[in-house]
Amino acid sequence: MLFLWLYMFYSCAGSCAGLATRGSPAPPRFAPPLPHLLQPAAGEPGEESSLEEQRAAPDSASPISTFFNGSGTKRLPQAIIIGVKKGGTRALLEFLRVHPDVRAVGAEPHFFDRNYERGLAWYRDLMPRTLEGQITMEKTPSYFVTREAPARISAMAKGTKLIVVVRDPVTRAISDYTQTLSKKPDIPSFESLTFKNRTTGLIDTSWSAIQIGIYAKHLENWLLHSPPGQLLFVSGERLISDPAGELGRVQDFLGLKRIVTDKHFYFNKTKGFPCLKKAEGSSKPHCLGKTKGRTHPDIDQEVVQRLRDFYRPFNMKFYQMTGQDFGWD
């Protein structure tokens, strides 16, 4: 009798509860906090947070968190824009982000030069989530001139594709100086920084603005760890005059379908360089910010000519090493 009574009690409790709630929607099983859902994804355009703030959730996300935070997996980059500073790396990255199969970090991680001791797990955490068939990318122009970077990238993955955007080294040096001048108006003149001794005409190769442009020297270090076919050299000048053509070469190199074409660009006469008709995730035209395309100061033409003479043999060697004539002379 006791068992029969217990059976009847629990049966009644279950059916009564069902009757009480019939016709009313069941309460939600979970309620994610709205502030979390409104946070931008790490590394997306417009986000100005530090790298520490860009660290996202672990890869082993639950189905619920994956649904709300975007599906996909965080992977180490299969391709990296490794240089060069003031060559056009930001423009190339923004152009590539239009491609649906490219996912890239917005900020420069500086992992292989400044943050290597943090480890690959920290580096991977900075990457955006990607789906099968998408490429993860990042760009840090200082890698090209960092002596340890080639070996470190090779240790991460020997097949990592490397892209170098190069530009006339004289123009690049002036652009580099212009950027520094905008932040430090009281720095010495370009002419005085160029020479160790202007009377003798000895170029100061310890000045980073000059040293970066000795491309052949830096490339020798990369070729010790990566075969030539693993590197692609993009012309910064052609990226302005023919962005679709250079993007075509880059898409081929990355094994991507040529989706980014001339229909994506228009030339902005005010800025003096091409802009996107539509940026990633937007229906509006997009040009690089005011820090790009600064007006260069007037430089003594004798100094410019001496720099051209200085760079000429290095340029010739670089042309031979890459199999490309960039036409800087």
225 is in an annotated binding site: no
175 is in an annotated binding site: yes
Contact 91, 242 (CB under 8 A): no
Measured distance CA(18)–CA(38) in Å, rounded: 36
167 is in an annotated binding site: yes
99 is in an annotated binding site: no
Q: Which of 74, 86, 139, 161 is catalytic?
A: 86
Measured distance CA(186)–CA(165) in Å, rounded: 30
CA separation, residue 258 to residues 21, 137, 236, 281, 297 (Å) = 57, 17, 20, 19, 38
Backbone angles phi, psi at 174, to 5 degrees: -65, -40
For residue 271, indicate whether it is catalytic: no
Contact 43, 109 (CB under 8 A): no
- Give the chain's count of helices (H) and strands (E): 13, 11
Which amino acid, one-letter code, is at 214?
A: I
296 is in an annotated binding site: yes
Q: Would you list the DSSP string of 4-64? A: HHHHHHHHHHHHHHHHHHTTSPPPPS----HHHHTSPPTT-TT----TTTT----SS--HH
295 is in an annotated binding site: yes
Look up tokens 């005010």; give the residue: 270
87 is in an annotated binding site: yes
294 is in an annotated binding site: yes
Measured distance CA(126)–CA(138) in Å, rounded: 10
90 is in an annotated binding site: yes
11 burial via Cβ count (<10 Å: 0-12, 13-18, 19+): exposed
CA separation, residue 113 to residues 82, 116, 152, 163 (Å) = 11, 6, 9, 17
293 is in an annotated binding site: yes
Residue positions in the annotated binding site? 86-90, 167, 175, 292-296
The set of catalytic residues is 86
Binding residues for 3'-phosphoadenylyl sulfate: 86-90, 167, 175, 292-296
